[in-house]
Amino acid sequence: MLNQAEAYNQAREPGQDEGTAARQIDELVKRVHASMVGLRDQWVRYRSQSGVESRWRKSKILYDGSQAKAELAFVESLKTGPARRLPPQQRSRLVVNIVRPKVEQAVARTCEILLPTDGKNWGIRATPVPEDISRMISDMRPTVIPGTNTPTGLTAHQEASAYLAAVEEAREGMEKAIDDDLQEGAYNAEQRKVIEDGYRLGTGVLFGPMPSAQYSSRWSYQPGFGMRKMQSKKIVPRSYRYDPWDVWFDPACGNDHQRGQGVWLLKRATRKELRDLAEAPGFSAERISRILQTKPTRVTVVEGRVTRTGCAEDTYELWTYYGAIEPDQMTLCSWGTNGDPLTDVDYGVIVMCQDQIIGAMPYWLDEKVLPCDVWCYRKSDESPYGHSLPEDLEHQQAAVIAAWRQVMDNGRNASGGQVVIGDGIEPTDGSMTITPNKAWRAKEGIDVTKAFAVFNFNSHLQELLAIADAAMKFADQEVSMPQLLSGDQGKAPPETLGGMVMLFSNATAVLRYRAKMYDDNITSPHIGRYFDWHMQYNPDESIKGDMEIIAIGSTALLERDIANQGALNMINVTSNPRFEKYIDPKKELKVTLKAMRQKPEDIMFTDEEIAANEEAAKNSPPPQDPQAMRAQAVVQAKQMELDDRDKQRQFDAQRAAEEAALKREALAYNREREQGEYEIAMTDMSLTRDTTILKLDQTERLAAEANAAKERMQALDIDNDRQLFNAEAALRTSTGAGI
């Protein structure tokens, strides 16, 4: 951690005033800061100018594919100048992305090889047995305690067996301790990210084991306070994948990052995270407080110069250095230094923010190696940053895009002919667009049969598609990933399982080679550092010993398929009576179930259940005579047959009774329905008769009234005529003349 008080005491000479000592400390701090800042800027500038970041940008463009043409043209224009611009909308702009499927396919297959779901891709084995222990095996002579010659009561073979058993127990304990750390830290998830980075960018970086705080809480009763939540913290090893963009290695390391002085790691922290760091051991709260009063800046490279630019985001760049620290850089740290550049160099961690050192702490492992591992899809000769799969597919991707755009353009041109219209022909609607049922007007004297001509272009789709197919085949050959890996078995796949396994093995040979490189560059050194962590910090001494890490991921897939096939065919050998005394049926069943992708513990009885079943079998009555059992079985079969017949007869009788009841119910229903229909008909007839009678009565009454009215009218007419006659007679009598 930062120990400025100790450095102050070391820098202050006897009789020197405090002001002079303080100025010396300030000068020392400035020199250390300038040294680390200069080291970082040098590494950042070197990588920016080395072409690595340009390759990464190109790989990302090829992987995304959506803007491949425009962005690649822009990247190339930075080197060769702007390309000639074609008139817009004259050619197809479609993009067929063959890079992303290849990358995802390679990532999936490599993860399947390296990260089996039913096991680990690594193991631990004890180092070879010492020669003196080897000589004791099969030696039945009694042993004595050296120096006292007191008999131990054991033979040499028993002592050797006890030693080997202790070694095996320690190996299993160490393997379980490491596996628990990896499982809790989601190690496989981090590995998948590293593998994806390796294929997509060419470089995958995995840091670990890194000291990480693990918090756990539980509720407990506290006298006088009731239930209280208690929290505990412990330091555990964890592995983390970091983006290659945020990792800088020593330019002098060549293509092996472990040869370099150290590694710079960039993280981005919010103000809250910076305040939390102020409380962590090894960090300076005073400097963090000063940094929080400033605006965040970014370290960028512009035209070969490292500059600081402001940013709108309220996040700070944390630059962490892991690696060797020179004596002049260790003065402000808690480690002692004699100033010898040959021997007085130690590994440590330095954290910078805003070009100021805010934290320093010693390295956590005794072995002085960088806490990170690098896997490359294809290694580079001059840099730890490798080449990516999209780089290998760049030319074939361009060929496929060009061929497919030619297909689109040719299909557009050949889909319809070019129409030539002679003079004197005009459309009635004023538009020259060809549409169905269109009317045209021809001038007088124009031969309309020769007014139109259509010229068709030849279609070359087959030739152009052949170019695209050839580019796809070349792409398969260049990256050694045939379509078999995506499920395409070709026109004539092998008919036997063994032939299919052999074909698949040949198709994945290159992938398994890259997986083996992953084992060599990631698995073995990474798990080895976990082993060192537990040897150094684990309090359980029983798991410690002389062991070595073995990586098994690269060969697991093929060997697992072959082993599973052999396990399924093993029954042909184990069923031979000659081998029964040499084979454990329970172990054989476990192997067979695992080959069938089944968990034996989900199906098989446990040892306790087997013992209980055997005990129950012992307490059960003795078995009967086989002949008596067969006779009893025959009698039981006959009895069952008779019972079945009785049940059939009962069923038939019950069904007949139910059918008769149904018939009776149907007859009763029909009678009720007919009676109802009869009553309805009679009611209807009665209503009809009554209605008719009422109509007749009404008609007669109306006729009588009409006759009476007619008679009254006639009587009135007669009476009127009589009165007129009498009046005329009276007038004639009185006057002598009529009307």
Q: What is the largest CA-CA distance in the chain?
A: 201
Measured CA distances, 716 to 709, 712, 719, 723, 727 (Å): 11, 6, 5, 10, 16
User: Sign (positive/negative) of CA torsion 537, 541, 547, 553?
Assistant: negative
Among 193-197, 212-216, 705-709, the range of highest mean pLDDT: 193-197
User: Sign (positive/negative) of CA torsion 414, 416, 417, 420?
Assistant: negative
For the record, the structure tokens of 310 come out as 């402001």
DSSP 387: B
CA distance 470 to 492: 20
Among residues 375, 396, 401, the alpha carbon closest in space to that of 386 is found at 375
CA distance 329 to 39: 11
User: In this predicted model, which residue has the larger pLDDT, 553 or 301?
Assistant: 301
Mean pLDDT of 26-40: 81
**Chain centroid to CA 347:** 37
Measured CA distances, 541 to 51, 237, 530, 691 (Å): 49, 18, 16, 118
Task: At 171, give phi and psi (nearest 5°).
Answer: -60, -45
In DSSP notation, 701-728 reads HHHHHHHHHHHHHHHHHHHHHHHHHHHH
Measured CA distances, 186 to 179, 183, 247, 552 (Å): 11, 5, 21, 19
The helices-and-strands tally (H runs, E runs) of the chain is: 22, 18
CA distance 321 to 32: 13
In DSSP notation, 513-556 reads HHHHHHIIIIIHHHHHHHHHHHHHH-S-GGG-SSEEEEE-HHHH
pLDDT at 372: 96
pLDDT at 8: 45
**What is the three-class DSSP state of 2?**
strand
CA distance 10 to 335: 13
Among residues 211, 245, 251, the alpha carbon closest in space to that of 371 is found at 211
Query: Does the structure show a pLDDT above 90 at 475?
Result: no
% of the chain beyond a pLDDT of 90 = 24
Measured CA distances, 487 to 101, 379, 564 (Å): 13, 29, 21
Task: At 299, give phi and psi (nearest 5°).
Answer: -90, 120
CA distance 611 to 280: 56
pLDDT at 595: 66
Q: What is the rounded radius of gyration, in angstroms, for the C-alpha atoms of the chain? A: 51
Letter for the amino acid at 699? Answer: T
Query: Does the structure show a pLDDT above 60 at 10?
Result: no
Phi-psi region of 713 (alpha: psi -120 to 50; beta: other; left: phi over 0): alpha
Percent helix, strand, coil in the chain, to 5, is: 55, 20, 25
The owner of tokens 């019972």 is 643
Q: Count CB neighbours of 126 within 10 A.
A: 15
Among 501-510, 614-623, 629-638, the range of highest mean pLDDT: 629-638
pLDDT at 5: 47
Find the angle CA(730)-CA(736)-CA(739) to the nearest 5 degrees.
65
For the record, the structure tokens of 211 come out as 């000291």
pLDDT at 552: 75
Element (H, E) at 375: strand 372-376
Check if the beta carbon of residue 417 is closer than 8 Å to that of residue 229: no
Q: Read off the pLDDT of residues 49-107 as tens digits, 9 standing for 90 and up.
A: 999 999 999 999 999 986 555 555 555 555 555 555 555 557 788 888 999 999 998 89
For the record, the structure tokens of 9 come out as 């005491």
Among residues 392, 387, 391, 406, the alpha carbon closest in space to that of 96 is found at 406
Letter for the amino acid at 302? Answer: V
Check if the beta carbon of residue 320 is closer than 8 Å to that of residue 328: no
CA distance 468 to 94: 14
Among residues 263, 288, 293, the alpha carbon closest in space to that of 278 is found at 288
Q: Read off the pLDDT of residues 433-462 as tens digits, 9 standing for 90 and up.
A: 888 888 888 888 888 888 888 888 888 888
% of the chain beyond a pLDDT of 70 = 80
Check if the beta carbon of residue 553 is closer than 8 Å to that of residue 515: yes
Among residues 125, 320, 298, the alpha carbon closest in space to that of 240 is found at 320
The owner of tokens 């070349």 is 474
Average pLDDT across the chain, whole number = 81
CA distance 135 to 159: 11
Among the residue ranges 124-138, 245-259, 375-389, 440-454, the one predicted with the least confidence is 124-138
Q: Read off the pLDDT of residues 318-354 as tens digits, 9 standing for 90 and up.
A: 999 999 886 666 555 444 444 444 445 578 899 999 9
Mean pLDDT of 487-500: 49
Mean pLDDT of 473-499: 60
